[in-house]
Structure 1
Amino acid sequence: MSASAAATNRSHGSFGASVRWLLRKLGGGIFVLWAVATAIFFGIRMIPGDPAEAILGGPGSQASPEALAAARAQYGLDLPLHVQYFGQLWRLATGNMGTSYSLKIPVTDVLRELVPSTLILAVLALLLAWAMALVLAVLSTRSGGLGTALASGLEIVSAAVPHFWLASVLIMVFSTALGWLPPVSTNTPAGLVLPVITLALPLAGFLGQVMRDTMEEAQRSAFALSARARGESETGVLLRHSLRHAALPGIALSGWALGSLLSGAVVVESIFARPGLGRSLLSAVTTRDIPLVTGVALLSAASYVVIMALSDIAERLVDPRISAP
């Protein structure tokens, strides 16, 4: 076989592998969205209460039986459960998320308004968590036994701190005692500081533990010894080799990190009175706003699927030893 023919076969094989990888990701993403929609549909109907009451303003609305019956008929709540289920799946597949029971506006409009706020919070928290984790990993590997013990202790403590406790402490220290930052989120950069730190610190502790182990392993590896033998300084080994390998587990965990940030946003946005998906999801669950709960959950699941795919691609770009998609 000629060299050109071999190169053509490799190109075709690489293209076929990329297509198969893309189809697996697409199929997995569709399954995740279906599973989330199914869990939400049946789970929220297990909550005691009548969804028709939520449509009419909640139990305190004192709606008449005729009004409740009309609401059930209008939203299809009087249909058999399996008919409601497949009807909802069809509407979601065609991009129709329905109208929020409590807000009386389309769910897509609610999401369009709330997504930027939560996205800014999550992205800033993820970047800060990455920066803090890398600093802890570098300090623990360059500062000797005492530095390693100190960094390890900080990682364990920060990873174990619950969001609601951390938020309360930050408010008491930086808002009540020092008066440096507002206790509630505002439309200014200062209003973002405490919510971002509250979300980032526990995640940084977890990422730092994983990155530190990988960095220590990279520092003892054969390629690090070879680089030192060629006259590379310790700083050069760290910047050119160890940091890249330490970033791999963090990249691989980016999808999980996003899910952690979105779940933490439910608490953080409620404590700091910040509008966003997390706070709206909590309110929607308590009022049995089925369309809004479904929309927020599906958007979160779709974000998780996309981030997982992007992190998979980034991991392969950072480490060429990982097989291409």
Structure 2
Amino acid sequence: MTHTVGNDGAEAAVRAPTPSLPTPTPELRRSSRSRGWVIVRGVLLRIGGGLFVLWAAATLTFFGLRLIPGDPAQAILGGPGSQASAEALAQVRADYGLDQPIWVQYIAQLGRLATGDLGTSYSLRSPVAEVIGAQIGGTLLLAALALIVAWAIALGLAVWSTRGGRIAAAVGSTLEIVAAAVPHFWLATVLVLVFSTALRWFPAVSTAGPEGLVLPVLTLALPLAGFLGQVMRESVLDALSAPFVLSARARGESENGVRWRHVLRHGSLPGIALSGWAFGFLVSGAVVVETIFARPGLGRTLLNAVQLRDVPLVVGVVLVVALGYVIMTVATDAASRLADPRLRRQGVAL
């Protein structure tokens, strides 16, 4: 701000002093650096953990396939029934490096994977990346729909069993335990017998239309819903007696408002945290579901590749699933922090 004052007929400009910002104290600077280091360390730990998961998945898969009886060279030439000559087998072993010691093959495999080269499928004679790209869409759609349905069933059971009295709580708990314990192959068989053979509502074999997704999605979703329902119900019960719920009721908020705005948000936190694990659960279940319902996807591709000892294809599928698990884990961790203000206030790094 500037104003003028007269002095012997002359004007002099006097500028009012501007307020100065407080000088950061050494404690504030140390706190800022510490917070930045926590964030960097959290990011580095996430990256390191993800790389370790991918390395472990590739390593265990590589050596696990070597323990399966049989000759990989015969798998490349069409399996034991191909009646390949000894000269052809020797040539294939030399071409694919199968005549090298196993540790040399392992290092070569890691080197190719580090450059993004998943190799060529032994049985399909196509690049592994192309095979996975053609099959991954169906499995992701199946897993995503199953996760949504499982979440809806679990939340519905949690709400109903916690507000319906002792009978509802006992029935809901029983349904959750039974659903979580049911194996996929048995559940798929029952669903086919009831809804396909008896009622003729849905096809027994998965088709291109939406009706072909109903039974596979239910087969994957119901066991997961039972497990999620158990952890969500316990979290909802804890939230009902929490101080923030008592405060909301004291402010005059309705019971429905308390449940929908506070209790369910708190009750969904364990389900959000477990969604990364749920992704792996759904993909592993897809191996059974896609086989039973003759549905194309990564699960069915993985099963066929293991039977044929197709090492590059098996390793490629496992790595893609492991990468999806890592991404889902990071995403669910971020979603948990967005849903829980306590984690944001703690300033924990993602």
For the residues of structure 2 that align with 1:187 and 1:219, how far apart are their CA atoms? Answer: 44
Matching residue's letter, 1:125: A
The 4+ residue runs of structure 1 with deviation greater than 6 A are 3-9
For the residues of structure 2 that align with 1:43 and 1:303, how far apart are their CA atoms? Answer: 21
Q: Give the drift of 1:197.
A: 0.4
For the residues of structure 1 that align with 2:23 and 2:318, how far apart are their CA atoms? Answer: 51
Pick aligned residue for 1:270 from 291, 309, 317:
291
Matching residue's letter, 2:333: D
Cα-to-partner distance string for 1:255-277 (whole Å, 9 max, x where unaligned): 11011001100000000000001
Q: Residue 77 of structure 1 corresponds to which residue in structure 2? A: 98
For structure 1, list consecutive stretches of 5 or more residues without a partner in the other structure. none
Q: Residue 174 of structure 1 corresponds to which residue in structure 2? A: 195
For the residues of structure 1 that align with 2:307 and 2:161, how far apart are their CA atoms? Answer: 45
For the residues of structure 2 that align with 1:300 and 1:143, how far apart are their CA atoms? Answer: 40
Matching residue's letter, 2:236: M
For the residues of structure 1 that align with 2:173 and 2:34, how far apart are their CA atoms? Answer: 45
Pick aligned residue for 1:228 from 249, 259, 263:
249
For the residues of structure 2 that align with 1:7 and 1:270, how far apart are their CA atoms? Answer: 60
Pick aligned residue for 1:2 from 10, 22, 27:
22
SS state at 2:204 partner: coil
Q: Residue 319 of structure 1 corresponds to which residue in structure 2? A: 340
SS state at 2:268 partner: helix
Cα-to-partner distance string for 1:44-99 (whole Å, 9 max, x where unaligned): 01111000000000000000000000111111101111111101000001011110
The 1:16/1:201 distance shift into structure 2, 3 A limit, reads same
For the residues of structure 2 that align with 1:265 and 1:27, how far apart are their CA atoms? Answer: 28
For the residues of structure 2 that align with 1:228 and 1:27, how far apart are their CA atoms? Answer: 45
Pick aligned residue for 1:104 from 125, 145, 148:
125
Q: Give the drift of 1:13.
A: 4.2
1:1-325 correspondence runs (5 A)? 2=22, 12-322=33-343, 323=346, 324-325=348-349
Matching residue's letter, 1:303: G
SS state at 2:342 partner: coil
Matching residue's letter, 2:129: T
Higher helix share: 1
Root mean square deviation, CA, Å: 1.5
For the residues of structure 2 that align with 1:21 and 1:136, how far apart are their CA atoms? Answer: 36
Q: Give the drift of 1:2.
A: 3.5
For the residues of structure 2 that align with 1:108 and 1:211, how far apart are their CA atoms? Answer: 38
Cα-to-partner distance string for 1:4-61 (whole Å, 9 max, x where unaligned): 6687766554443222111101000101111111111111011110000000000000
For the residues of structure 2 that align with 1:230 and 1:4, how far apart are their CA atoms? Answer: 40
Question: Percent of counterpart pairs with the same letter?
Answer: 62
Q: Give the drift of 1:213.
A: 0.2
Q: Give the drift of 1:227.
A: 1.1
| Greater radius of gyration (CA) | 2
Matching residue's letter, 1:24: L
For the residues of structure 2 that align with 1:65 and 1:73, how far apart are their CA atoms? Answer: 12
Give the paired residue count. 325
Taking structure 1 as the reference length, what is the TM-score of the superposition? 0.97
Cα-to-partner distance string for 1:148-200 (whole Å, 9 max, x where unaligned): 11111110111111100110111111111111111111111000010000000
SS state at 1:152 partner: helix
SS state at 1:186 partner: coil
